[in-house]
Amino acid sequence: MGIKYEDEIVEIVKRALVEDIGYGDITTISVIGDEYIEASGEFLVKSDGIIAGLDVVWLVFKTIDPGLNFVPYVSDGDEVKNGDIVGVVSGDVRSILSAERTALNFLQRMSGIATLTNKFVKAVDGTKAKITDTRKTAPGLRLIDKIAVEVGGGVNHRFGLYDMILIKDNHIAVAGGIEKAIERCLKYVKEKNVDVKIEVEAQNLDDVQKVLKIGGVDRILLDNFKIDDLKKAVDLISGKFEVEASGGITLENVRQVAETGVDYISIGMLTHSPKALDISLEIKI
């Protein structure tokens, strides 16, 4: 099973297992002891959504016990319904029980993120706007969270502070203005020969005008703009730079935002407060 970012995900899985199992699953040890019992466990979906994280589940079982066998019945990105069985694990029941919660945590969280992302993607269907995530992810799980966004049909924004320059309001305040902040970033990129994109946050239409005058950036982030001002900003920018909207985006208003002509809509709630998809593991001897 070839998995993108497999080495990185394995490290995340190992940390999660250590966090949960610690020096031993004392309940399973107490109840079952050294006895080998062959069992299987079905992953039962209890609410409709988009499944994500099946490869991660496989890595959880592989890491805790290479003798376990996991067979998915669907693929990441598939729509699932209440009552669907999305996969089955079989092997030593002790290993299944010890891995159960970690596997479910990943599967439920990732599926919840993918499901929410997909709702936003469908809401802007027919426009050019792409739904993108932010850095508002669970500590230590950013890679997992961002994979889930992609599964749901969204696109990833920067992964961290290292792969894109994003000049925010606090940077602008410290620099003494939006022009100075941009100039310093352009100087840094040139001197260090760094191949990264530059995005700058605009708080209002005056900021947009200032960015247009100085130039040099790849994208303008329109933060907490009202719909009318978004339209005006998009008209002002007129395709010179990519345009991203953020702030206060909901399923109720995302279509309106998309119809202003922005290229990207970044939504923090995709990863900072997703509702986990309800999934359980039903074990059979």
Check which CATH number belongs to the domain holding 201 and give it.
3.20.20.70
Which entry of 15, 46, 81, 168 is annotated as an active-site residue?
168
155 and 257: one domain?
yes
* Predicted local distance difference test score (pLDDT) of residue 54: 98
Longest alpha-carbon distance in the chain: 74
Active site residue 255: no
For 186, the 3-state DSSP assignment is: helix
Q: Is residue 42 part of a domain?
A: yes
Which entry of 62, 101, 119, 232 is annotated as an active-site residue?
101
Active site residue 101: yes
For residue 260, give its domain range. 122-272
Residue ranges for the known binding site are 101, 134-136, 158, 168, 201, 223, 246-248, 267-269
**Side chain identity at residue 23, one-letter code:** Y
Which entry of 62, 119, 136, 219 is annotated as an active-site residue?
136
178 and 98: one domain?
no
Active site residue 109: no
- Which ranges of the chain does DSSP label H, i.e. alpha helix? 6-21, 26-32, 54-64, 93-123, 142-151, 169-175, 178-192, 205-214, 227-237, 254-258, 269-272
Q: Is residue 236 part of a domain?
A: yes
> For 248, what's the count of Cα atoms within 13 Å in the CB-facing half-sphere?
9
Q: Is residue 38 part of a domain?
A: yes
Pairing of β 38-45 and β 85-92: antiparallel
Q: How far apart are CA 281 and CA 278, in angstroms?
A: 11
pLDDT of the chain, 285 residues: tens digit per residue:
557 889 999 999 999 999 999 999 999 999 999 999 999 999 999 999 999 999 999 999 999 999 999 999 999 999 999 999 999 999 999 999 999 999 999 999 999 999 999 999 999 999 999 999 999 999 999 999 999 999 999 999 999 999 999 999 999 999 999 999 999 999 999 999 999 999 999 999 999 999 999 999 999 999 999 999 999 999 999 999 999 999 999 999 999 999 999 999 999 999 999 999 999 999 999
**Side chain identity at residue 197, one-letter code:** K
* Predicted local distance difference test score (pLDDT) of residue 3: 75
Number of domains the chain is built from: 2
Active site residue 6: no
Active site residue 223: yes
Q: Which residue has the tokens 């010890």?
A: 98
147 and 108: one domain?
no
What CATH number does residue 87 fall under?
3.90.1170.20
Which entry of 201, 207, 244, 263 is annotated as an active-site residue?
201
